[in-house]
Amino acid sequence: MPEMPEIQAHAERLTDRYRGRTLAKFVPFNFTALKTALPRPDDAYGHELVGVGRRGKYLLLEFGDTTFVVHLMQGGRLLDDPKLSVKPRGGQARFLFDPIDHDGADVASDALLLTAQGKERRAGVWCTTTATMLTSPPLDKLGPEAATITADELAKLFAANSMRVHGFLRDQRMVAGIGRRLSNEICHRARISPFANTRKLGADGAALVVQATQECIAEGLAFERSRTDMSSSKDRPSAVHARTGEPCDVCGDAIRAVEYSGYTVNYCPTCQTGGKILADNTTSKFLK
Ligand SMILES: [Zn+2]
């Protein structure tokens, strides 16, 4: 799933290409694509795209008083849509702009198409009032932004929520924007066990995690901004994520994995657990 760096760079590219375009119509292709009844998408018609912002893993398409909040979920994308097919493959919804003269140049198309992969947890759109969107679903429950949370703020959240740090980092209500890959990378960068208890990490642990988070996000952003489209997860550079069995670049130890049904926790024993091998999740042995 794309995380903060991928979504942020995508928002910046969309802003560059579509800012100032006037929305003609929002077209959902099925009953579940639009998650809200009010305000109506029509309220945004005739208004220019002010820009595409981001909160957590959500894209925010702002048309004046109305903002469309878009979540790409696992394999969703928001793409140039030059073909305007009647039934686009994987299509969830379309933002149709008033046409402009493209002069044959490589500029944006007259529509953006939201696509999804698979049948479960599909990409979706919430139509919100710009002034109140941050305190309305789906953004109202999000924790502070991962890139800007301070060590003090994180220390308070650590103290109030006793969790494994890997699970904490992936929980959007705690900090927003981090997923499975960044959780693995941040724990490795901070040299802490992914299973470390947040309450026990304390203020010193929070400071380490904040610094690691900022570094990992900055590197992810630099990589993602160098691209013309969103990377797939296998393209993204990583120190431990998806590198089970490979040598750690820092110490040479073999990177280990703890498998869960939906994801893998990767870590380096020498860098992160004092050489201790973390117990595999018991249920996953039966699922494999
Ligand atoms: Zn290592």
| The predicted structure's pLDDT at residue 2 | 92
- pLDDT at 285 exceeding the cut of 60: no
pTM: 0.93
pLDDT band at 287; cut points 50, 70, 90: very low
Burial zone of 105 (CB within 10 Å; 0-12 exposed, 13-18 middle, 19+ buried): exposed
| The predicted structure's pLDDT at residue 282 | 53
Separation of alpha carbons 244 and 268, rounded Å: 9
pLDDT band at 233; cut points 50, 70, 90: confident
Neighbours of ion ligand 1 (CB under 5 A): 248, 250-251, 253, 268, 270-271
CA of 99 to the centre of ligand 1 (A): 54
- pLDDT at 43 exceeding the cut of 90: yes
| The predicted structure's pLDDT at residue 106 | 57
CA of 269 to the centre of ligand 1 (A): 7
CA of 163 to the centre of ligand 1 (A): 24
Using the structure block, give the residue that is written with the tokens 């679903």: 137
- Evaluate the omega torsion of the peptide bond into residue 39 and state whether it is cis, within 30 degrees of 0: yes
Separation of alpha carbons 248 and 255, rounded Å: 6
Separation of alpha carbons 194 and 169, rounded Å: 10
CA of 178 to the centre of ligand 1 (A): 22
Instruction: Express each pLDDT in 79-98 by its tens digit.
Output: 999 999 999 989 999 999 99
CA of 220 to the centre of ligand 1 (A): 20
Instruction: Give the residue, 186 or 31, on which the prediction is more confident.
Output: 186
Mean pLDDT of 149-154: 98
CA of 241 to the centre of ligand 1 (A): 12
Mean pLDDT of the chain: 93
pLDDT band at 105; cut points 50, 70, 90: low
Q: Which of the residue ranges 35-49, 98-112, 226-240 would you say has the lowest mean pLDDT?
A: 98-112
Residues 15, 18, 24, 28, CA torsion sign: negative
pLDDT band at 101; cut points 50, 70, 90: confident
| The predicted structure's pLDDT at residue 109 | 86
